[in-house]
Structure 1
């Protein structure tokens, strides 16, 4: 599987997207994971783009913040703040590739100063901010290598540069033929001798119809073909790419700016190379995340399987021992008189001397130190203790056979338990894989950090979960024609209908009023209903009149208030199906009822009551999981906390309703 972009990939990507980057401003910087940055860019056309810089792997535009999880640790938060202070609001002047290396320079201008973001896509690469003097101001990870040191304050030096031999004017066919011999075979000769990336070397050889494992030499015609195909890929692909992703047995194995012939698989074509890169590396990242999430489970399965293997080996050994002892027991029973005579002879002989014991019939070996004598009865040998008579020896043997039988039975029962555990864990693994895919693919909209709903008429409604969110909504998201609502009680969510300069319908106003009423202190007070007022966004302000004070989370309202009287405190909480799985929805019970056989799987109607919210949240999730077991991976991905924040307070379940044929 391809794990990083090649130098040709970079050349093609810059040819395709360089002009789009030039002139764009850096609005923000996010640390997505170790050695990976996400730049939020604003182009001259006011278009927002998200550029991911992943050291050692890729540079490409992604579709947005959806599915991109940022690191929230204190350490990375401080580094993220530092990056923002240095590059935010800077203008991208130019994007270029360093020769034909896997290094990209993003030249930026911050005020009157210029600097560049260096993105190294080679192994052990880093992302660094380099100033006008060529010194590193900030780097994602300090490294000390044989040929260079990369750390803050040091002069930036790229790794030793190497131009591909096929692009050098001073190389003739004789020189290229000699360079081929540096490899152990043809493909390594092209990689080591000519300096082509591995995948390009394989492609060039395949296009010439040669065996990559053959001797590192070529006749003149083969050499001409190799050089021609290499130059064709390196020089002509950037101007006429044919982007694609290749699948083998349904799994992506590579992304290319040309259609490869060295890999036999299914080809998916793309209109742009960036789209191909984004699609491919999104899937690669998804598989890596899933593998990481399942590592503990895989270790547990492997441990149980090792225990199971040892147990099986032990059972086989015990069965062989049982077979041997059972045969001996049968022979002794069939020849007990003979056995008794031998034992008696041995016991009497010991009283005289051990040499006499050797004269007894059937004696094979004596061990005076241990008081043991090995005797043969028919074709079986057995060690006897000279202190015990034949009856005692026979009883001891029978006891041993029964103990082994019990051991085998216990081992077999334990084996079945382990098999069930392994099978259960493997089933869990299947669910966890799907659950992890859900978590990785889950798209979180910007408004989901607030209380939110979509009305029956398609209007987005958002509301603050606390005082700070109330203030943020009024300050950042309210436009003059939006509708702002609040319950007629001190303490509650500031609810906003995003109207898009339209006049919201009466139905949308009533549905939004439910959020304002339920997410207010009226719920905790145990009221049955509360009045809700609404005004336009142009009527609200966070600036109080001179000499007055606005309490935390509050806002000023000027002009006429419109009222929706006696809004019932009944909140429907349910789940709807999405493209990636399910998500929580809330709203007026009647509004969710309309969507019940369409997208909504079901809902619980809550009213103020005495039951703990966490218990209700667990009950809601359990009921949905039992009702729709085929979506078990979805329910595994739902956090109880996600439900809990949508429950206004202590409640009572008034009604439960599920859909019958959603998605069918």
Structure 2
């Protein structure tokens, strides 16, 4: 990677963690778009996260997320709130629910956002502090009603009932004239980039950008900077300032083998890196920060899934092992009982000898007598391995297996109790087996839930946003170059497209055969590139009767002034058909190929078109070819593929948006083959 900076270049390698003052200034206008919104409910999601649900008469519902010390923006990924809310959101609900937002502003170019909320004639201010450890504070007439965190600092205290004191003011670089700007520079004894970053409160990223735009060596000592350099630096600052003030921003997420930064402007310091444009800074911030949080949550839930599954498997393994151990003890008990009966006479003799000797001899003397009997090779004495007078048992060895015989009981009673103990082990083994079977049922049930489904239950889900567009009734797609391409679904729509929507600089496409849509590229006055023309040709061919015939098609395009409904003498022009005058540009042997996808961006919807355009615009796509699968069955299969491939945070969205009947609208007219491997 080509590094754009040296001393202050750490942001080129580490992901941005919080908003800057410039970011706050840039998003102020977007947040202000929700003035007049009604506050519905407030939540505290984590120690630092507060979510406020709003409703605006134009924009609808919205989730305003404030992460103390980090960021503020609307989110499409609201994290589930705890079942028992902490005190702070309850206080917010008490004072702000049903209130109306009357103003949103940045305080003094600091990382502080103030939101005025009016309810019942009282105006309260919610203060979001995005610096340091951060805070969210509800105030009224400058008095603190409730803080998210109680804090004490050297120069101020955040506590209920106290006056809210702002942190010390800093320079606002967006309001400086050139003389003031030069004055700030002259007060420094550092180099250019450090001076701009710190003295102007603009941060390292924009200090680097200003130096680069101005063509000034960022490492130059301030005392060496001449009037010309000062002028160029000020002009560069003014460019940034003007874009922020007027709202003419171009938000981007910057990537370099992962996300690096999210910025409201296109920055030259990132010219060698990959960037992704967004229509609003809110959306860019949400995609940049929230998706990574979702990934972490998803992995945490996956880990819990695996941990629970392994726990169930471990429990079953233990239950099976216990059952096997009990069965071993059962078989061993039966064998010992059988041996007791097999050596009935010898054991009876041993018990009789011991009991008789106890009347006259001590235990040591009895043991000694058995030793002497073994020396004489007396059969019954040879069976005795040990006499344990403390436990009242004699340990005998029968066919190589040690068996304990209770001295106080008969041989029959010893055998009977051994059998009973064995049967008890068998019952325990059966119980352990049943427990293992129940655990296996839990494992099977748990596996059926699927790891992604389990992970997604508590993972924030993107909300559906689908805008109504005038061209939705037609067949349509956006080309890889961003041009809208529309086509008729029937003869009436072909007539409507040509008469009502085709303009001078557009292009008209049609196949050489009948039964094809009138396809128009909307140029919006721009020159139409070759790639867009080729995609429009594929679109025209794939949505024609050629699809049903399984072969390619020849497609041509002409200018709008070559398309007419006026026939030559003796000609007849059917409804939905047109007369073409003049030369045509041909796209011969155009392949029949089509994709259906799901777009997930500022809006979410099913889309369809040539595979190359879907690669550009769809988050998930499935490729189609002519085939023999019924359209509705194909739509169901496509939906299932989307759900199978979708990330956890997108799954609920796809369930809502990608219904089979909606998918069917974007399938070419005819039966298809679904390529499940293309997503």
TM-score, length-scaled by structure 1: 0.44
Q: Which has the higher contact order (CA 8 A, sep 6+)?
A: 2
TM-score, length-scaled by structure 2: 0.43
